[in-house]
Amino acid sequence: MIPIAALTAPTCSSCPTTRHRWRWASLAVRSRLAKPEVSRAAQLGNAVLRARSPSAKVQGILALQAMASVEAVDQLFRILSDDPAALDDISEYQALVRGTRLLRG
């Protein structure tokens, strides 16, 4: 049998090294909790806004349409509001129009 004191000694809260470890662990947990998870639709919307080529933007818009979710439609409207130049390219314009029609059913 292993004495209980031997098991609890390394985790003693009065031990300076243990307190130091707990401080780092709590910082790691807080930093992990501070960053909210980004949805797939938001990641795809960000990629569309960063894309330089119209064909890449169209493919991203089509992928958002295929998701057919509320978040995807929100991203389509975000693309419309954040990238008004998307309306200048006819293929992007057509893809966005088809995507925003998802709301009407």
What's the pTM value of the predicted model, to 2 decimals?
0.59
Helices 70-82 & 54-67 angle (0-180, nearest 10): 150
Residue from 44, 40, 84, 80 nearest 62 by CA: 44
pLDDT in tens, 19-74: 556 666 666 666 666 566 778 999 999 999 999 988 899 899 899 989 988 999 89
